[in-house]
A and B are shown apart, each in its own frame.
Chain A
Amino acid sequence: MATTTATITINSTDLLSDELSLSTTATLTAADSSTGLTDVSGLARKTVTGGHAQYTLFDGSDYTADKAHKLYLKNISTTAAEFFLITVNAEDVGRLYAGDWALIPWSAHDNDCDIKIDPSANDMTLEYMLFIDE
């Protein structure tokens, strides 16, 4: 059985009066089970030439609905004002600014539950990887 782990570490020395140090590790498993996820899209990189346009990154109809898919995203831009607007089923999730990353649970709840990206400028590049629950 494949084992995939995701660890997040959040640190701050001065956000609070005491130091913040948080770390959690998750083993990525299939829905309702302890079996590790067995499929992955592979790490990919996409440069979108046209800004202010929406692109479908993952189509909800291509994946089994109501599962435990996990999506990793990173905006590799170094221009602070540049962001990707991330949407799920046409609902804004948030803005992924330059250098930011995200790990998003995705249920592919129905055929409309696409993951879409909308770059704020031309020629922006996103790195992404989808861990898939068949």
Chain B
Amino acid sequence: MATTAAVTLNSDLLSDSISLTASSTLMKAGTTADDLDMVDYGVIDIVTGDQFDLLDADNPASSPVAGVMANKANKVYIANHATDETYYVTIMIDAQNVGRLYAGDWMFIPWGAEDANADIEITSSTGTNKIEYALFHQGRTLNAS
């Protein structure tokens, strides 16, 4: 099983061109033989007015899979499909501001989910931002019904 993520950065903002490519195979923490084998994927409209938990880090101690997502090699991909250049979403982790994802931008970050408060939170600045997201992980807690 193998999932690969590659990035290509091209730019003409220097007198010489920048062209950079990097690729990695998404592995479980600390291994070279065991790939991340689970994914959550979605597309959702983020409306203004509230901060939402896009991805919840909660791993209750009583859960049979407690801690399986915490401090691992999870990867999060988020793309903002808004088209108005003034639209953006603010990405926060545990109430700490990470950055703004403007219309057309994407991000790909490791996510430690180191404790139950380390949610990935999202707030729309203006209008409705359509967000595509994926979490590649090695297990997470489902809430008991």
Query: What residues make up the interface of A, taking CB atoms closer than 8 Å to B?
Result: 2-16, 20, 22, 24, 26-29, 31-34, 36-40, 42-43, 66-70, 72, 74, 80-81, 83, 85-86, 88-97, 99-107, 109-110, 113, 129, 131
Contact = CB atoms under 8 A, between A and B. Distances in A.
What 10 A-B pairs are tightest by C-beta distance, nearest first?
Answer: A94-B110, A105-B99, A2-B13, A91-B96, A4-B11, A12-B3, A109-B97, A81-B30, A94-B112, A101-B22
Contacts of A80: 27, 30-32
B41 to A, nearest CB: 9
Interface string B44-77: 0000000000000000000000000001111101
Interface string B108-145: 11111110001000000000000000100000000000
Nearest to A11: B4
B5 A10 contact: yes
A129 B20 contact: yes
Contacts of B113: 94
Contacts of A94: 74, 109-113
A32 B9 contact: no
B1 A15 contact: yes
B3 to A, nearest CB: 4
A80 B28 CA distance: 9
A100 B8 contact: no
Contacts of B9: 4-7, 72, 129
